[in-house]
Structure 1
Amino acid sequence: MAVLQQILGIELIPLTEPLTRRKEALAAAAYFATFSYGGYLGALFGVYLLFTRFWWLTLVYICWVYLDRKTCENGGRTSDWIQKWSWWRHLRNYFPTRTVLVPGFKLNPNKNFLFCCFPHGVIPCAPFSSLLCPGNILQKLYPELRMKIAGLDMYFRLPISREIGLGKGGISCSVKSLTHVLAKPEGGHGVILYPGGAAEAMYARPGQYRLVLKDRKGFVKLALKTGASLVPVFTFGEVDLFDQVQNPLICRFQLFVKKLFRFTVALPLGSGFFQTSFGLIPRRKPLFIVVGQPIDVARVENPTQKEIDELHQKFIKQLVNLFDTYKYDYLVNPEAKILELE
């Protein structure tokens, strides 16, 4: 095996690896494929069906998507059946993930919460597999808390990704959608949001913690208008799951797509089923999700720019403090790791 690795120049996975770990790798591969390319493949399959005797299936599904188009903006449609898939357990164990609550962490059950997660990574894995999956630490401590995860509206227009995304608790990241959940007067609702978005995904490189946050104030304004508490969440290891192809022409193309469609086309370099040197599976790296103390926010119907700026600075200060405090526990050579804000 060692000789073969030297000849090929790659690191092979032993054939004796337990079946459990193979299942975990398959779960990670399926997660990346589904939420990166699944919707497009499903759309192409629908076009193919139009030229077969099953053409009517595509038309029926198009009608269903049209009639169901506003579900992602009206609180979503979580499926207990999809939530209980063993897929999610294997995904969580693949890395594995560990959720850490800061000392004194406490949620007010009468409030709603906006969990603002950083960094985004090439494709977010940690909070999805830890804070949203059944049996997570927040669910055990606060079983009444109903969690959602916000994504681009585009994902809820494409087959496969929309049905699984909605079933897993997905909602649109539009202001209307987030307000619908976070303004509920009874409280007990939480939304996972990645404020850095596609711009931050382009910066994802192993060991590089570069956040798009300085001019991202929309989530702060939303928290003020709804009275939802802001919860800073930082994941150590998220940026280590993939590297990215670095080429000036590719970067320009990615920027063009991002400007036009608000998302980016990722060309990741991860792991494979039989070797770890390249592939589209996230690398098997431990993920540590640190959940900070909620920042209580008083509801302001029409917040001023000063109020938005003050809360934004308070959030940044707490997020930076999370990184500076916990990097010594979860990063190699922590003194050399800095948090870059753009």
Structure 2
Amino acid sequence: MCQVGTGTPPPTSDPGRLQALGHSDQKDFLRSNQSLHPIFPGSEALLAEGEHLGVSTTPPPTPSMKTLKKQWLEVLSTYQYVLCFLFLGPFFSLVGFFLLFTSLWYFSVLYLVWLFLDWDTPQQGGRRNQWLKNCTVWKHLSDYFPIKLVKTVELPPDRNYVLLSHPHGIMGFGTVCNFSTEGTGCSQLFPGLRFSLAVLNCLLYVPGCREYIMSCGTCSVNRQSLDYVLSQPQLGRAVVIMVGGANEALHTVPGEHCLTLRNRKGFVRLALRHGASLVPVYSFGENDVFRVKAFAPDSWQRLFQVTIKRLLSFSPCIFWGRGLFSAKSWGLMPLARPITTVVGRPIPVPQCPQPTEEQVDHYHRLYMKALEQLFEEHKESCGLPASTHLTFI
């Protein structure tokens, strides 16, 4: 049986059924749906129809109802994530540079000294801050979509794990919320495990940005860092890797499920070196929270994206969502689409300090098969049609 960690789910209903029901049945339908969310599409017309039929449509004060304050807390929490993702690094870098030419120049110098002394921390598991991981801003962020974390089997803390999270998406909301924060109660769902989200190495050396990111329990995705985390004497270490990376972000298209995995085998070698179990993870809905401009593979725009990715390790994507103050306008706010992150069954991997290519290929095939099976088993319960399948590139 699956267990779910989640924020507060929005109430749901089906206004279209009202037209197909008789007069008495319409009353019963409205009574059973008195807790319609005030921003549910079509709810205003449905409530007006209820008043016409003589049914009291005043929603009772239930915990599932979102107050205006709660809605704005969710919006602002989500917006701060977007702003930090896009602008936190450049902002602190520019501030530090311009302070050098003011009377406050010593702040920049002191930070550079600190950066020099703290240079190796990202390669040694990072430096997490439990207060920041437990901050309520992450709960509001997970409630905005909402984001759910689904456990299909137990992950005993008597071994280490390498979790591969798919798809990357534009900003990785599902992966970050579930494994880098306590927005969905990850530590309660998987007691005894210590999750470390692996991110680009360059992000952990950007002034100001590095402290914020490391406080959420991240570490560098390079080999030295991951080997350090998984070689600790205390078991229960779980490294989370968005293996598709920047290349997969280029294939982020709403409604499509294209994964960069066929030639990605470094995670298998990592698991074999440390005897860590491989765990498939899939976030249904991750690709649906932004609208994305996709370019043809042979276009100059795609060539530009690929070139930047090779030079800077990130993909410049053209994306947009809704506005901050109105869902009918466009802006940087992601769309409120449900994201369901399903954690699959672990694949036991033996410890081989010097794995052969045959071993790597074998466990890579096992992993791809397990991921595909996980997707097929849960896709319909997450709102996808039965005809939808994964595509590996």
TM-score (norm 1): 0.90
Q: 2: distance between equivalents of 1:138 and 1:80? A: 13
Q: 2:351 is aligned with what amino acid?
A: R
Deviation at 1:157, TM superposition (A): 0.9
Farther off after superposition, 237-246 or 193-202: 237-246
1:265 partner amino acid: P
What is the deviation of 1:244?
2.1
Could you say which residue in structure 2 is the equivalent of 1:28? 78
Aligned partner of 1:310 among 356, 362, 375:
362
2:157 is aligned with 1:109: yes
Does 2:290 correspond to 1:239? no
The 1:255/1:236 distance shift into structure 2, 3 A limit, reads same
Q: Relative contact order: is structure 1 or structure 2 higher (C-alpha 8 Å, sep ≥ 6)?
A: 1
Give the Cα separation in 2 of the matches to 1:135 and 1:125: 11
Q: Is the 8 A contact 2:198 2:239 kept in 1?
A: yes
1:174-323 matched pairs, under 5 angstroms: 174-246=222-294, 248-276=299-327, 277-323=329-375
CA distance in 2, matches of 1:212, 1:339: 11
CA pair 37-245 structure 1, distance change in 2 beyond 3 A: farther
Distance 2:314 2:390 in 1: 24
* Distance change (3 Å), C-alpha of 1:143 and 1:22: same
Larger displacement relative to structure 2 (131-140 or 78-87): 131-140
Deviation, 1:246, is 3.9
SS in 2 for 1:265: coil
Q: Secondary structure at the match of 2:240?
A: strand
Unaligned runs of 5+ in 2: 1-40, 45-65
The 8 Å contact of residues 112 and 190 in structure 1, kept in 2 or not, is answered as: yes
Change (3 A) 1:314 1:45: same
Instruction: Report 1:89-168 matches (<5 A).
Output: 89-102=139-152, 105-134=153-182, 136-168=184-216
Match status 1:171 vs 2:219: yes
1:35 touches 1:161 (CA, 8 Å); kept in 2?
no
Alpha-carbon distance, 1:310 to partner: 0.4
Equivalent residues of 2:142, 2:183 under 8 A apart: no
1:8 is matched with none
SS in 2 for 1:329: coil
CA contact (8 A) 2:141 2:183 kept: no
TM-superposed deviation, 1:259 = 0.6
Amino acid at match of 1:190: A
Number of the residue aligned with 1:48 = 98
Deviations, residues 159-195 of structure 1 (Å, cap 9, x unaligned) = 2321111100010000110111112233111111101
Q: For the Cα contact (< 8 Å) 1:147–1:192, is it kept in 2?
A: yes
SS in 1 for 2:380: helix
Q: Deviations over 1:81-105 (max 9, x none)?
A: 2123221111111111111122xx1
Matches of 2:95 and 2:381 in 1, distance apart? 46
**SS state of the match for residue 316, structure 2?**
coil
1:4 maps to: none
Q: If you compute each CA radius of gyration, which structure gives the higher value, 1 or 2? A: 2
Separation in structure 1 between the aligned mates of residue 146 and residue 169 of structure 2, nearest angstrom: 16
Q: Match of 2:322, SS? A: coil
Query: C-alpha displacement at 1:238, in angstroms?
Result: 0.2
Q: Aligned residue for 1:340?
A: 391
Counterpart CA distance in 2 for 1:288 and 1:75 is 27
State the SS of the aligned residue for 1:100: strand
SS in 2 for 1:234: strand
Shift of 1:17: 7.5
- Answer yes or no: is the 8 Å Cα contact 2:142–2:184 preserved in 1: no
In structure 2, relative to structure 1, the CA distance for the partners of 1:133 and 1:171 (3 Å cut) is: same
SS of alignment partner, residue 287 of structure 2: helix
**C-alpha distance in structure 2 between counterparts of 1:194 and 1:120, whole Å:** 6
Greater shift in the superposed pair: 192-201 or 32-41: 32-41
For residues 18-72 of structure 1, the C-alpha deviation after alignment (integer angstroms, 9 at most, x for no partner) is 1211111111111122123210121111112122211111121122122212111
Give the aligned residue type for 2:142: R
| Change in CA separation of 1:207 and 1:266 when aligned onto 2, cut-off 3 Å | same
Secondary structure of 2:81's match? helix
Q: How far 1:77 moved relative to its partner?
A: 0.5
1:183–1:228 Cα contact (<8 Å) kept? no
8 A Cα contact 1:196 1:211, kept in partner: yes
TM-score, normalized by length of structure 2?
0.79
Q: Which runs of 5+ in 1 are unaligned?
A: 1-10
